[in-house]
Every structure is written in C-alpha cells, then in structure tokens.
Structure 1
Amino acid sequence: MTKVAIVGIVGLPASYGGFESLAENLVCNKSDNISYTVFCSAGNYPEKIDYYNGAKLKYLPLSANGIQSVPYDILSLIECLKLKPDTILILGVSGCIFLPIFKMFSHSRVITNIDGIEWKREKWNWLAKKFLKLSEFFAVKFSDVIVTDNQAITDYVKQEYGALSSTIAYGGDHAIRNLDIKQSKYEYALGLCRIEPENNVDKILEAFSKVNERIKFIGNWNSSDYGKNLKLKYEDYNNIELLDPIYDLDSLYEIRKNCKFYVHGHSAGGTNPSLVEMMHFGIPILAFDCVFNRYTTEDKALYFANESDLVAKLNGYPNEARLNEMALAMQEIAAEKYTWVNVVRKYEGLF
C-alpha cells in the first residue's frame, strides 16, 4: 500500500477550485494500492468528517488561502513528519519555502505541482511576488518530482531552472452530467471564472457592452473592489447577466449546455480547469490569446488579443459550419487529453 499525503488545498469535499477538484478526483478514482491523507482548513468545514471516500481527513486551524496559506502548508508538512507517508503531493508553492528544512528530517518522496507561474499574477504586490518566486525556486530545487499542468509551464521550468518536469493537466469530464434538461429559448455566451484582472473580465464585459450578443457571466463579484466595480458598471446592461458563483455541477451543467459559445479570458495559470471542463461540452470557444490557452486548445479555438479584437470577433463570428467544426475539435481534444482516468493514472504512476 502506497501512503500519499495531499498538502496545499482547502480540503475535501471539494468546493473551491482546481486543486480541490484534482484532489477529489484522485481520491474518488484511486487504485486499491493507494491510501490518502488530505489536510483540510478547519474553518471551511463546520461539519468535520473523519474520512471522505476512504481518504483520512486532518483539519488544521489555519486558512488555506491568503497570507495564512504559508503557515498552513508548513504546518501540514510538519504533520507529515509524524505521519511518514511514502509520498507527499504538494499543490502550489506557498509552503515550499520550508522544503529545505523539511527534507533534512523526512524520507518521504515530495511531488510538487507548482500551479501556474504564481509570482507573475497581477493580484500580488511586489513583496508577495518576490516571496512566491523564491518559493517556486525552492519547490523546483528540493522536490523529487515537479508537475506542471501546461506545456508552456514545462518549457518555463526548463528554461528558468534547467529542470525537467512532468506535464499533467486536469480532467474536465466530471462537468458532464447525466441529466435531461430543457433547451434554452435564448442564445447566450458564457463566462465563468474568478473575478480577477488577469482573467480579463473588464475587457470581456466592455466588449459585450458594445455588441448585440448576450452573455451570462458567473463569478465572485463581491470578493474584491475589482469585482464590485465591474458589477456596478455593467449590471444594468440588458445583454449582460452577472451571476454569483455556482458550485453545484448539475445547475452549472444546464447553463453550460445551453450556451452558444464560451468566452475564456484567463491570461495566466497554465491549463485552466474551467476551460477543459467547457471543452467537454463540444461548445465553440473564444479564448484570450496566450500561449497557455493555445496549448490547451491545440490552436483550434478562436482567440482574441484585446477588447477591440473581441468586439471584432463577436461582430464577425464564423459561419455555422466553422463553429461546428471548432466545437467538435474541442470535444475530441478533451476526450483524448482531459479526462480524470488519464490524469489519475499519470499521478499514480508518479506515486
């Protein structure tokens, strides 16, 4: 039996983001010879269960996000010194500043998924960026295996550190539900993401304010001044519907299934779970033009570079035959590359 500890997520059951979905699917689709311990942030789970789908849950009295994510991850690693798992899977680099000390006392194999190039994200101030860059350096130097979720980040790790990494993306097929839904009377585009500047939400909404296309945009509008200001500015447009976060996959399924096309504004972070989930629906995708999104969609989606380019794309959309061809390509890529069976098999190979 291979004992694996997962460090760096809010916890299970998953209800937060991509790493949580990854952990959930690793646990739910595991082989019989793998056992998991998952560290969870106590404040996010009023009801504290001991096990979830066979995984042992250990609760820590710190937040997994924001500035507390660093001591949260470090405390998780200290607990691992007692647990002595065969392998520790660290998701994100926040606590990797502690790895040089940890490796002096632990014989566990350390596998770190460094996420996107976190230190480049616009939301961090200069001090946070310096810290995250140092944490990334320690993650690459002191982990036994580095995992990246996008070929562009694999290339970055090779160029920046001269290190090899394993490229493993995310599955998205969990978003497909076995539901009989009503087809919507109205055609609309769909946006779905955390409301952050690097996701180009402002550019997307401004573009839609200038065209006749409708859009439903789902996100955490009230979590930042950026989101609140956008909501105030665009909520009264007749063709723009701003929806609060929806975590229920059945409810999301109906909205996704009925959209005309998906607008993906992410400019950072590697392979974005929301994008690979949407690719499984066989829906045309209009994505921000960056190397991450081009790798994920294999250059077969439509791309926009800025607000004016998006307006032009929305006003001059391809004909139905081209849209259907694009939608089919997205679905075929997703079925080949972005299923949880394949992702779990690759991680368990590393374990």
Structure 2
Amino acid sequence: MSSKERVAIIGTVGIPAKYGGFETLANYLVDELHTRFNFTVYCSKYNYDNKVKSYNNAKLIYLPLNANGKSSIVYDAISILHSLFYSDTLLILGVSGAFMIPFVRIFSNKKIITNIDGLEWKRNKWGRLAKKYLKWQESIAVKYSHNVIVDNQGIREHVKLNYNKKSTLITYGSNHAFFEILMPETIIKYELPKEYAFKVCRIEPENNIELILATFSKCNKNIVIIGNWNSSRYGEKLKLKYSPFDNIWILDPIYDQKILNQIRSNCTIYIHGHSAGGTNPSLVEAMYLGLPIIAFNVNYNKFTMNNLSYYFSNEDDLLKILNKLEKEKLKLIGIDLKTFAESNYTWSKIANEYSKLF
C-alpha cells in the first residue's frame, strides 16, 4: 500500500479541465504533484462524454449531478462524504457545501483545507437568499477549516477583518497561456479589425460590460468582446444595443481555444472589467502574455497586477485613458506585467505552496 498522503479535490466540474479557474487549478495540482500525493478528483458526469477512471495517476469519481448552480450544494456535500473513506486531506474549492465541514471535524480526523474563492456572495447574479446562504457558508468554512486559502491580498484582509482569522495566500498560475499568431482565416471569419482592444468574460453586471461598451461607443477605438450574450436578458439587451456600432465586435463564445488565443494574443489592449472576486485567472493569463491591461479600479485587480497598470472607475475614466494612450507606454506596461507574472504566477510555484498545506 502506498504511503503517500491521499488528497481529495472537491468542488470542481472535474479534470481534464474544460471550464473555469478551479478546474484549471485542480488540473495543474495533479500535473505538478501526482508523484508526491495520491489524488482523488470529483467530477460531474454531465460534462464528460469519455469518463476515464484516472488522469495522471489521479482517481476520478463521477457524480450524476451538475457542479454549478443550486445543485453544487448537494454535489459538494456528497463529494465530501464519499472522500472521507478514501482521503486523508480534503481540498474543498468553494464554499457551497461548507455546512458539512463541522460534521467532518466532529466525526473524523481528516484535514480540511478550503479555498473560499472570491467572496462569491457579493456577485450580482445571485438573489438575496442565495447571497445570504453563500455568506453563511463562507463563515462556516473560515471557522471550521484547518487551513483557509485565499487567492488575493484583498480577500486575505477581508478574512482577517471580518473573522479575525489568518489565511494562506495562494494565487493562480498563468504559464499555461500561450501566444498564437493571428491567422488570416481567423481574421476573415470574424471580420476582425487591424487593431483592437479585447475582453472575454461571462456577460454579468459585475464585469462592467455595459460601462465598457458605452465608453467604446463614444470613441473611435475598436473593441472585440467575446461572451455568453444569449444566456441572459441582460446579455441579449446589450448585444442588441451595441452591435450596430462599427467599432464594436460582439462575438458569441468561441470554444476553440486555439482561435480564442489568436484573438486574445494579438490585441493592442486587454480590458479587464471584473469588480468582484479575487485573483481572476483570465487577468493573470493576460499578464503572462505580456498584454497591456486597463482594469477596473478595485483592490483585487491592483493587488494582482502589483499596481502596474491603468485603472478606471467609470466611463469618463476609461475614455480619458483610451484617448491618451501611447504605443510605447503600452509596450512597457505589457513588459512589466509579464515580468511580474513570470515571477509570481507559475503553476510550479502555486503547486508547491499547496503541497506545504497537504
């Protein structure tokens, strides 16, 4: 029998990663640490047609539930219960099923490590009851976990201020992002302009999509925005309103990562409008690619970028920044951000920090 520590990873759609920051994190923890730990990863069977039993020596357990939305509560709870029979350490990503943690502490000696994510209860997409539930779960996770992981200094300060508890700061890796040459067929297919700003994200209010679109509608700069416009009335309304502008390219989701990377890699400016959460995976990827970035003015984004870029709080801020940009200055910003990402956001560094807790 192996003497390696047994670690369960709970709270993701699964691996190999197809979607989301936590999935990418789980994937790279297994890639980097599978020779040192025995991993079990819980997966949603609805997201995998080919249900392999293992990935890079990690055991994969498929549950007949969706990993996101309301069903994530049951999904995480069942994963936690099941993992008690197969693991020494539980790495729980997110707080949906945190109500289980006190019972685990009472009835077992398993080690509980919880990454509380980016203050999920603040997101506008949740209703009043959902926000209350998520905030309650966050408090349980912080109180009863052996170790609490935060991905941003802003979240760390929140945990200290509101719960008087220390947390471990571990961010995300970015060195899986790679530069792609923009191919002529991609330019033709999407009718892309020669120079453009770029944004890719979920079309949700806290990502400040409307602010960004409204600003670009008032200037002559081009922008390409990729997102799930048709998933909500909010997205449909914005798509209908801003599609007529000649300098705004509104594109539906692109699931071919190679093509998406082509369009992202060759933008002149990356616009990051996220106002909620901690260290955003798409932001550190843009940094690693050396893209000049203009970001929404919240402490999470400033901590992530070491305050090395431009920041906006409203339409006037963003418009002023866009109108005064110089190519040489943008180039230097991109170089500084890439240098910082190469030193701080590599998967080997992140995995090593997790391994200390395991």
Aligned position for 2:52: 49
Shift of 1:180: 5.4
- 1:301-340: per-residue Cα shift (whole Å, max 9, x none)? 11111122212221222x2332122111111110011111
Q: Return the letter of the residue paired with 2:90.
A: I
What does residue range 75-154 of structure 1 map to in structure 2 within 5 Å?
A: 75-83=78-86, 85-154=87-156
Q: Which residue identity is paired with 1:112?
A: T
Distance 1:248 1:34, change over 3 A: farther
Aligned to 1:66: 69
User: What's the counterpart of residue 156 of structure 1?
Assistant: 158
Equivalent position amino acid for 1:103 in 2 = R
Q: Contact conserved, 2:181 with 2:265, CA < 8 A, in 1?
A: no
**Are residue 322 (structure 1) and residue 322 (structure 2) matched?**
no
Residues 1-351 of structure 1: matches in 2 within 5 Å? 1-83=4-86, 85-177=87-179, 182=183, 186-317=194-325, 319-351=326-358
Amino acid at match of 1:334: A
SS in 1 for 2:62: strand
Cα deviation, 1:195-220, whole Å, max 9, x if unaligned, reads 11000011111111111111111111
Residue range with higher mean Cα deviation, 244-253 or 50-59:
244-253
SS of the residue corresponding to residue 84 of structure 2 reads helix
Which deviates further from its counterpart, 22-31 or 151-160? 22-31
Q: In the alignment, residue 218 of structure 1 is paired with which amino acid?
A: I
Percent of aligned positions that are identical: 50
Q: Cα–Cα, structure 1 residues 254 and 265, in superposed 2: closer, same or farther, change >3 Å?
A: same
AA of the residue aligned to 1:37: T
Alpha carbons 2:8, 2:83 under 8 Å: kept: yes
How many angstroms does 1:181 deviate by? 5.1
Task: Mark the CA change 1:155 to 1:187 in structure 2 (over 3 Å): closer, same or farther.
Answer: same
The two structures have a TM-score, normalised by structure 2, of 0.94
Equivalent AA in structure 2 for residue 246 of structure 1: I
Structure 1 counterpart of 2:190: none
Matched-pair contact (CA < 8 Å) for 2:152–2:279:
yes
Q: How far is the alpha carbon of 1:263 from its aligned partner?
A: 0.2
Which blocks of at least 5 consecutive residues in structure 1 are unaligned?
none
Shift of 1:241: 1.1
Q: Distance in 2 between matches of 1:34 and 1:252?
A: 34
Contact residue 175 and residue 249 of structure 1 kept, 8 A: no
Structure 1 contact 262–286 (Cα < 8 Å) conserved: yes
CA distance in 2, matches of 1:148, 1:210: 38
Residues 27 and 36 of structure 1 are in contact (CA less than 8 Å); yes or no, is this contact kept in structure 2?
yes
> Gaps spanning 5+ residues in structure 2: where?
188-192
Q: Which letter maps to 1:339? A: T
Is this contact kept in 2: 1:81–1:105, CA < 8 A?
Answer: no
Comparing 67-76 and 228-237, the one that deviates more: 228-237
Answer yes or no: is the 8 Å Cα contact 2:226–2:254 preserved in 1: yes
1:110, CA displacement in angstroms? 0.7
Letter aligned with residue 325 of structure 1: L
> Could you tell me how far apart the structure 2 residues matched to 1:31 and 1:42 are?
22
**Preserved CA contact (<8 Å) 2:34 2:58:** no
**TM-score normalised to structure 1 length:** 0.96
**Cα gap change, 1:182 to 1:251, in 2 (>3 Å):** closer
- Aligned mates of 1:249, 1:234 — CA distance in 2: 25
Change in 2 beyond 3 A, CA 1:159/1:145? same
Instruction: After superposing the two structures, state which structure 1 stretch, 243-252 or 281-290, moved more.
Output: 243-252
Superposed displacement of residue 284, structure 1: 0.8
Partner SS state of residue 270, structure 2: strand
